[in-house]
Structure 1
Amino acid sequence: MKQSKKSKVSKFILIGYLAYIIFVLLYFYVFTDSNLPAKYKGTFVDPNTFMDHKEAKISTSYSTLKNVLYFISIPLDWIVLSLLLLSGIIGKLGESLKKLTRFHFIQVFLYFFFVSVLTYLITLPLDLYRFKLSTKYGLTVQSFNSWMKDEIIGFWVNFAIMYFVIYVVYLLIKKQPKKWWITTWLLSIPFTIFLTFIQPVIIDPLYNDFYPLKDKKLEEKIVSLAKEANIPAHRVYEVNMSAKTTTYNAYVTGIGKNARIVLWDTTLKGLTDEEILFIMAHEMSHYVNKDIYKAMFGTLVGSLVGLFIIDRLMKLTLSRNREYNSPDKMMVVLTLFLLFSGIVGFISEPISNAVSRHAEKKADLYAVKLTNDAEAGIIAFQKLSKNSLTQVDPPFLVKFFRYDHPTMLERMKYLEEAKK
């Protein structure tokens, strides 16, 4: 591709991003109606029935702003990688690294470190604004130093994992240019299982302190509930999140002997025992239905399809740009891999979200059967909405691209139906 054409493409990308930002702003602030449909006004799903007017208004404004920031930030990495390719910087960097050292693992390390730091610094202002925003609205009580510590830990954890992936891809593309994607996928199977296994005991404790549930009376109730579901309740953990946030959460993590249910200490303080038991029953459903294993299987199937598409996109790009398609342009090839991985991953997100929403609905309904207390679930969801300033009925694009759970409106509606 000639330099003049590259310059035009670069301008087109920047103008396109500006147009995209305008579209996002128009979608959320002009075309989207944040009001509930009239038939739900004044009902138990209406925020104005469990929030005061000011809280309901703040919830809408905060959620809208948060979603705008999310959609604006999504293409930034792709734009940075595209501009690096078009400017020729990546090709020159690869040539310089070959002169600097003959060791491939060092070349790839320095290349990926450069790309990671650059993309991190470019997206940092938006991340910092999100932090300030959540602090302003009272959702975050974490100090800036503590937040930066988590950011740095997150950067290095992600860097270490992705560097390993990138280096393996680098070696496979060099040795198996036609079937690298198949071998990469086969190697990803044990790697994915290993990461899921060590997540609760190695990665998560880097950010927070985990310990067995302190409230022994509540623990007895959970143990009793777990016995009904034939689940080992000794894997219920509490995590100290009150030093960072005021929001509530609970989740299932890990596999095998490391599988556990985790409750934030904020959840324990903000919900009643009945509401917590409903949340616990929901999480127990994930054990019973083996949702973690199903999600892992879905991830592996999706990655196979994704790697195939990425391989085809890379080959198409390289065939149209002869200067990229040479043995000394491996850093360019890796940049294409990162670029297309991000795009394909984002495009596939709605599919995984839809599957997840189905599993989460089943978990909610399982919790109703196990506790026989749908009302506790409805009140818990009302409190969760109020506490996290979450929109009960978010815009379509938000649900489509962001929600791996049903909306609060949907969850409260089918719990109410389950009472009948």
Structure 2
Amino acid sequence: MARKMGFYGVIAYVLYGFAVYWYLFYFADSSLPFEFEGSRADPATFLNGRELMLSEEYSKVRNLLFFLSTPFEWLFYFLILLLGLSKAFKKWGEDTAKNKYGQTAIYLIWLSFFAYVVTFPLSYISYTLSKTYNISTQSFASWMKDELIDFWINYAMMFVIVVVLYWLMNKFKRFWWLFAWMLSVPFTLFIMFLQPVVIDPLYNDFSPLKNKELESKILDIAGQANIPAEHVFEVDMAEKTNALNAYVTGIGSNSRIVLWDTTLNRLNDDQILFIMAHEMAHYVEKHLYIGIAGYLFLSLFGLYFVSRLMNWAIRRWGKEFKLQHPGDLRSLPLFLIFLSMIMFAASPVSNLVSRYQETRADRYAIEMTDNTDAAISAFQELTKAGLSQVNPPWLVKVFRYGHPTMLERISRLEDYEVEKRNAQEGEY
């Protein structure tokens, strides 16, 4: 039975892969609606023929990798259970260490190592793809360094989570999911507090913005918005990428406004001020805290459904999975499968909320700066630097886009321009 389940799992993944490939390369339509042709949202007005071709090629392959990678992890964990590897990892831990913490640590290192090795080809393809299309400028050694940092940070956090999670599963068999959620609230806030000062500096160098004149302009906008910012930070990204970015990170006293140096090098002051006003809007409208609340709300239901699904799966296929109850550490791959599935299924909702917040931030930024030319040209430069599709296919937008499409963002700015012009004419 286990062999048959594994065979069907592989076949299902292959069929899914072909379906995604057919959708992205033959069925999906990313062409511009005719009413936007010739507008400033039309990529033909700011990209040359080669850039248009490259953006379509790059986006299709990158989207394919996205849709293949998460279900590939489900298949991997499914086979780990069916082939008895999860049982073997636990036995190796028990044979090597005497206490539960040591056994869990050894189990996790084997599971993490196998997962990293199996998923490495997809990660490497993604890296080489971005290098081929001149998005990434990162050397292989630097990329591997970041990969290893990722591995050990994820391992450390996973160890803490798994130790607590399985203690709760065995202590509170019916309501472990509720207690796990309650503990996840302070843990999530703690990680977000540490992110800008402990985790992010492991990957890149951060420093106060060197251009003090620009920093003064940015802080002036922050002051108008009653944002208690004393510094703007820049991060050295030019050695890794040609893409552009800016963001607000952290919570409380550790909040930071951050600009990539690639953004500073490629955009002028007016364009940067619009982007900064956009980021400040997230602070003003408390999007970060709304996002945290939404994440915690979804995680409550997610953990509940995971507990129900694990009980159902073990009752039905416990023999094939070599599992008798959810509190057995060997059930971790099953937990990860269901958690990932629920997060993937919920991503259209979370992306929808995020796109709404980003639309609000765009509106705030244009009202604050009142410079549509700078805003539109900034979005055009972001599109060009990242070889992004202006009008991505519907499924790509639903599952991948936490921001509105560039077609939506630029066309809304043009609408704002018309509204402003009409309002001025009405005054006369």
Q: Which category of TM-score, normalised to the shorter sequence, fits these structures?
A: over 0.9
Matched, 1:135 2:109: no
Q: Does 1:297 align with 2:293?
A: yes
Q: Which residue pairs with 2:376 in the alignment? A: 378
In structure 2, what is the Cα distance between the partners aligned to 1:314 and 1:342? 13
2:79 to 70, 79, 83: 83
1: CA distance, partners of 2:220 / 2:100: 56
Matches within 5 A, 1:5-44: 5-44=1-40
For the 8 Å contact 2:209–2:231, the answer to whether it is kept is: no
- Across the aligned residues of Structure 1 and Structure 2, the Cα RMSD in angstroms comes to 1.4
1:397 maps to 2:392:
no
Q: Which amino acid aligns with 1:383?
A: E
Count residues with an aligned counterpart. Answer: 416
Q: 1:73 aligns with which of 66, 69, 73?
A: 69
1:150 paired residue number = 146
Report matched runs for 1:259-298 at 5 Å.
Answer: 259-298=255-294
Match of 1:360 in 2: 358
* CA-CA distance at 1:92 after TM superposition: 3.6
- C-alpha contact 1:95 1:328 (8 A) present in aligned 2: no
Contact 2:55 2:387 (C-alpha < 8 Å) held by counterparts: yes
The equivalent of 2:101 in structure 1 is 105
Please list the CA deviations of residues 115-163 of structure 1 after superposition, one character each: whole Å capped at 9, or x if unmatched: 1111111111111111111111111111110010011001111111112
Which of 184, 202, 206 is the equivalent residue of 2:198?
Answer: 202
Residue 326 of structure 1 deviates from its aligned partner by 3.3
**Structure 1 segment 332-347 matched on structure 2, within 5 A:** 332-347=330-345
Alignment of 1:210-289 (within 5 A): 210-289=206-285
Supply the AA of the counterpart residue of 1:408.
M
Structure 1 range deviating more: 363-372 or 343-352: 343-352
Aligned mates of 2:124, 2:88 — CA distance in 1 = 32
* Cα distance in 1, alignment partners of residues 143 and 89 from structure 2: 32
> 2:333 & 2:65 partners in 1: Cα distance?
25
* Among 155, 159, 165, the residue aligned to 1:169: 165
* TM-score normalised over the length of structure 2: 0.94
Deviation at 1:329, TM superposition (A): 7.4
1:377-397 per-residue CA deviation (whole Å, 9 max, x = no partner) reads 111001100111000000111
Paired residues of 1:189 and 1:300 also in contact (CA < 8 A): yes
Distance 1:335 1:223 in 2: 47
Identity across aligned pairs (percent)? 45
Q: Distance in 1 between matches of 2:340 and 2:325?
A: 24
- 2:407 alignment counterpart: 409
**Matched residues in 1 for 2:318 and 2:350: separation?**
36
Distance 1:148 1:305 in 2: 36
Deviation at 1:255, TM superposition (A): 0.5
Contact 1:375 1:416 in 2 (8 A): no
SS in structure 1 opposite 2:324?
coil
Q: What per-residue deviation string (whole Å, max 9, x for no partner) do you get for residues 89-123 of structure 1?
A: 22243244334333111111111111111111111
Amino acid of the structure 2 residue aligned with 1:404: G
- Structure 2 equivalent of residue 418 of structure 1: 416
Deviation at 1:376, TM superposition (A): 1.3
Instruction: Write the distance in 2 (CA, Å) between the matches of 1:120 and 1:355.
Output: 31
Structure 1 residues 327-374: Cα deviation after superposition (integer angstroms, max 9, x where no partner): 697132222111111111111111111111111100000001111112
In 2 relative to 1, CA 406–105 (structure 1 residues): closer, same or farther, beyond 3 Å?
same
Q: Unpaired segments of 5 or more residues in structure 1?
A: none
1:301 Cα offset (Å): 0.6
Aligned residue type for 2:361? A
Partner of 2:188: 192
Task: Name the SS of the counterpart of 2:259 in structure 1.
Answer: strand
TM-score in terms of structure 1 length? 0.96
Which SS does the other structure have where 2:118 is aligned? helix
Residue 319 (structure 1) aligns with: 315
Q: Which runs of 5+ in 2 are unaligned?
A: 420-428
**1:248, 1:384 within 8 Å by CA — same for their partners in 2?**
yes
Aligned equivalents of 1:393 and 1:415: distance in 2? Answer: 16
Q: Which amino acid aligns with 1:326?
A: Q
Pick closer, same or farther for the CA change 1:275–1:282 going to 2, 3 Å.
same
Equivalent pair of 1:94/1:330 in contact (CA under 8 Å): no
SS of match in other structure, 1:75: helix
The answer on whether the counterparts of 2:89 and 2:110 sit within 8 Å (CA) in structure 1 is no
Go from structure 1 to structure 2 and tell me whether the alpha carbon gap of 1:240 and 1:19 turns closer, same or farther (over 3 Å shift): same
Structure 2 Cα separation of the partners of residues 54 and 385 of structure 1: 14
Q: Identify if the C-alpha distance between structure 1 residues 34 and 104 changes in structure 2 by more than 3 Å, giving closer, same or farther.
A: same
Partner of 2:274, secondary structure, is helix
Please give the alpha-carbon distance, in whole angstroms, between the structure 1 residues aligned to 2:221 and 2:96.
62
